[in-house]
Amino acid sequence: MAEASHKPVPLLKDELDIVIPTIRNLDFLEMWRPFFQPYHLIIVQDGDPSKVIKVPEGFDYELYNRNDINRILGPKASCISFKDSACRCFGYMVSKKKYIYTIDDDCFVAKDPSGHDINALEQHIKNLLSSSTPYFFNTLYDPYREGADFVRGYPFSLREGVPTAVSHGLWLNIPDYDAPTQLVKPRERNTRYVDAVLTIPKGTLFPMCGMNLAFDRELIGPAMYFGLMGDGQPIGRYDDMWAGWCVKVITDHLGLGVKTGLPYIWHSKASNPFVNLKKEYKGIFWQEDIIPFFQNVTLPKDCTSVQKCYIELSKQVKEKLGPIDPYFTKLADAMVTWIEAWDELNTPSE
């Protein structure tokens, strides 16, 4: 066997886009250079489109600002949030790759307990390329990892698992807390590195954070809509949560898997809890109705594609959540617009 070179070929180099929403210069990419440089970046610039965003030399990227979004989508651009990191989902829509990794610009390279830099992207790819086990929990966590397996009592008929649609990574340092928790525990930092990847069981929802997230665009892309947030909307900081609830219901229905755990990134700064409270305020109590809705929603058997599932979900959102607040009627309409725009830019391959 030929000796392996010290620089292995990056996994899925031509099949993965890195999507970054930002309002500032992307100096943080310097730290990620060893891991990100071989990949194509899609930068979605939020806020003032006349501001020039600097990207470090040597990265292969395309950048879209609000003017570009309006030009490409026309009237359908109304479904893409403004002045909120939810605008990142535009990057998912224009990508031509099978996989997406999205990361925030305040996320740095973390170190594992032995002090080595964590290649977050590589771990996400490992998660996505191995199966998930949503129907039966394995007590040794991910059975497909090196040094692990299915434990005694695990049915052999379920050991093949199902395709993995989503890999949800975690964060060291600043945890992803809501405003009330931030206010009560302003100094809390996450220092616990848990060396585990779990499949989230079928029928169980979870809070999906968009800060360190990868997914298979072909399996679940059209459901990764980050909703209407930010400018002109009564709510913020629920963009990734909304996407996560929709995605989980649809992956459960279609027999796909969602994993959470490794990889960790280092989340460098906490956002202002008072600003966050303003954004989250309505969501905190709306959630008490939203969650039971998603827990009880059922999709008919003829919903065999992500698009069909998503359109059906939008109808149910309008019918069941519309009475809570007119915002949900607006959101349900935007969900339909999003699918129409997705399909226009992504003509289904034969």
Question: 154-195: per-residue pLDDT in tens?
Answer: 999 999 999 999 999 999 999 999 999 999 999 999 999 999
- Show the DSSP H helices in 74-178 as ranges: 89-94, 120-129
**Token code pair at residue 316:** 């149910």
Single-letter amino acid, residue 155: P
Domain for residue 11, yes or no?
no
Confirm whether 103 is domain-assigned. Answer: yes
Which pair of structure tokens corresponds to residue 314? 């939008």
State how many domains the chain has.
1
89 near 21, Cβ under 8 Å?
Answer: no
CATH number for the domain that contains residue 53: 3.90.550
pLDDT digits (tens, 9 = 90+) for 259-311: 999 999 999 999 999 999 999 999 999 999 999 999 999 999 999 999 999 99
Task: Report yes or no on 1 lying in a domain.
Answer: no
For residue 265, give the amino acid letter.
I
CA atoms within 13 A on the CB side of 173: 15
Task: Evaluate whether residue 3 is within a structural domain.
Answer: no
Tell whether 276 is covered by a domain.
Answer: yes
pLDDT on residue 248: 99
Domain extent at residue 137: 16-344
Q: Mean of the per-residue pLDDT values for the chain?
A: 96
Q: What is the pLDDT of residue 5?
A: 44
**Is residue 265 one of the residues assigned to a domain?**
yes
Report the alpha-carbon distance of residue 207 to residue 49 in Å, rounded: 31
3-state helix, strand, coil in the chain (%, to 5): 40, 15, 45
